[in-house]
């Protein structure tokens, strides 16, 4: 398990290597550096450090830093649904990277990489590609691959098809992509209006701090997809746009907070009654919420964000007119505006939200848990503000308790 001190040291080392590679980061990008040890607890041997520049449903780009001798374990990105899996292009910016993919192998004695003896059976791809500054290589989807940095370390710019969060299958069964960090046990709530970016921030925070992301909407959809008895009760309500009764919501959320030790709640609680139920459930588990973030932004910003949203009639992919000007999705389906994304409908939704958020805000303010964050800025600035509160206030105070 990584201690907070080791996590901080790894981040500093990452910044140092990026500076040697003459890659300049903004303060907000520094806050978004992710340290990944694959759950093996030996970052010096197994791990990567990464900074995601852009992550959309169409493509993603990131800077990947590999410490000297550090190994990214063997894995592949398989197809899922009607998607072919992630194709990646690595371009070396600094140092040397020994990349291995399936294909004609080199003899073990000729391998540039050094594999720990107790893990050798989990490194089967042996076609060797050596990347130095200016070299690049494209890894097809669903291709087994792994890599190790040379003596100086390496910096690789990675360009990928689709979003970064796609299925990964590791050869080593002990691998976990979520970092094992000593701040486990951290419990957070994200509050905010529609369009405030709660889901995006929750995903970023879950990756950085190694927590589960418990999105109420996703949890309900999961129940439906599994065909459970609970899902069969929820499906007709959600298809009609009806509110799911608190009794069902409580059944789902109580199960999840008992299952996970560390999590971010997104979409729950929405009302004072739900907040009071959550507190009772946590007390029964001898737990408590550590921090509540309210993502605040003017109604005009909410209207601009949501009214520009377009949804594909065929595959349900979401786009925004500020970033995608076509009326046709990549799958060929037509892009339409949902009825509840029209400005008048958004204003009505905001009236409901304001009626709910006031009591919730007072409830968590009185408990000393609430931090209000300006969410009208770019995603990176909002994430940086939340991270600073966690790194400088919440996590250090938890450790002193």
Measured from the Cβ of residue 52, the count of other Cβ atoms closer than 10 Å reads 21
**Which residues have a catalytic role annotated?**
198, 270, 309, 338, 349
Whether the pLDDT of residue 33 is over 60: the answer is: yes
Domain residue limits, the chain: 4-77+85-170, 187-400
Q: Whole-prediction pTM value?
A: 0.57
pLDDT band at 184 (very low <50, low <70, confident <90, very high): low
Give the domain 187-400 fold: Rossmann fold (3.40.50)
Q: Which residue has the tokens 């938890």?
A: 398
What integer is the mean pLDDT of 303-323?
84
290-301 pLDDT, tens digit per residue, is: 999 999 999 999
- Tokens standing for 137? 């290589």
Q: What stretch of H or E contains 160? A: strand 145-161
The more confident residue out of 200 and 108 is 200
- Among residues 274, 249, 272, the alpha carbon closest in space to that of 358 is found at 272
89-137 pLDDT, tens digit per residue, is: 999 999 999 999 999 888 777 889 999 999 999 999 999 999 999 999 9
13-29 pLDDT, tens digit per residue, is: 999 999 999 999 887 68
128-168 pLDDT, tens digit per residue, is: 999 999 999 999 999 999 999 999 999 999 999 876 666 77
CA distance 354 to 299: 10
Assign domain 4-77+85-170 to a CATH class. Answer: mainly beta
Share of the chain above pLDDT 70, in %: 93
CA distance 2 to 179: 8
Sign, CA torsion 243/246/250/251: negative
pLDDT at 178: 47
What integer is the mean pLDDT of 226-236?
86
37-89 pLDDT, tens digit per residue, is: 887 888 999 999 999 888 776 788 999 999 999 999 999 988 755 567 789 99
- Among residues 217, 179, 178, 209, the alpha carbon closest in space to that of 293 is found at 209
pLDDT band at 180 (very low <50, low <70, confident <90, very high): very low
pLDDT at 182: 44
Whether the pLDDT of residue 4 is over 50: the answer is: yes
């Amino acid at each position: 398990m990584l201690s907070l001190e080791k996590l901080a040291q790894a981040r500093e080392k990452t910044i140092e290597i990026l500076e040697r590679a003459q890659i300049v980061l903004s303060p907000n990008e520094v806050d978004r550096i992710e340290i990944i040890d694959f759950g093996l607890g030996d970052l010096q041997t197994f791990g990567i450090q990464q900074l995601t520049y852009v992550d959309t449903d169409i493509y993603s780009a990131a800077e990947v830093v590999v410490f000297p001798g550090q190994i990214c374990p063997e894995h592949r990105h398989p197809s899922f649904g009607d998607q072919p899996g992630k194709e990646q292009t690595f371009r070396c910016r600094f140092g040397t990277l020994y990349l291995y993919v399936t294909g004609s192998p080199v003899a073990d004695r000729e391998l540039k990489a050094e594999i720990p003896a107790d893990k050798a059976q989990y490194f089967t791809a042996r076609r060797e590609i050596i990347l130095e500054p200016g070299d690049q290589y494209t890894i097809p989807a669903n291709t087994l691959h792994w890599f190790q940095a040379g003596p100086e370390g390496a910096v690789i710019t990675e360009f990928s098809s689709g979003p970064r969060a796609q299925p990964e299958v590791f050869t080593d069964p002990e691998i976990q992509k979520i970092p094992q960090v000593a701040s486990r046990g951290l419990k957070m709530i994200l509050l905010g209006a529609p369009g405030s970016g709660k889901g995006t921030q929750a995903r970023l925070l879950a990756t950085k701090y190694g927590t589960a992301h418990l999105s109420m909407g996703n949890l309900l959809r999961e129940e439906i997809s599994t065909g459970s008895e609970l899902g069969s009760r929820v499906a007709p309500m959600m298809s009609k746009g009806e509110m799911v009764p608190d009794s069902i919501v409580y059944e789902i959320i109580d199960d999840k907070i008992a299952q996970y030790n560390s999590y971010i709640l997104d979409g729950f609680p929405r009302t004072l009654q739900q907040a009071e139920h959550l507190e009772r459930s946590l007390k029964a588990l001898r737990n408590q919420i550590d921090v509540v973030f309210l993502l605040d932004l003017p109604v005009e910003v909410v209207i601009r964000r949501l009214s520009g949203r377009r949804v594909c009639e065929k595959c349900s992919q979401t786009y925004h007119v500020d970033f995608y000007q076509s009326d046709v999705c990549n799958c060929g389906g037509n892009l339409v505006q949902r009825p509840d994304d029209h400005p008048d409908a958004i204003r009505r939704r905001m009236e409901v939200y304001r009626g709910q958020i006031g009591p919730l805000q007072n409830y968590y303010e009185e408990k000393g848990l609430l931090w209000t964050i300006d969410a009208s800025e770019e995603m990176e600035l909002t994430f940086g503000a939340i991270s600073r509160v966690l790194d400088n206030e919440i996590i250090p105070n938890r450790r002193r308790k």
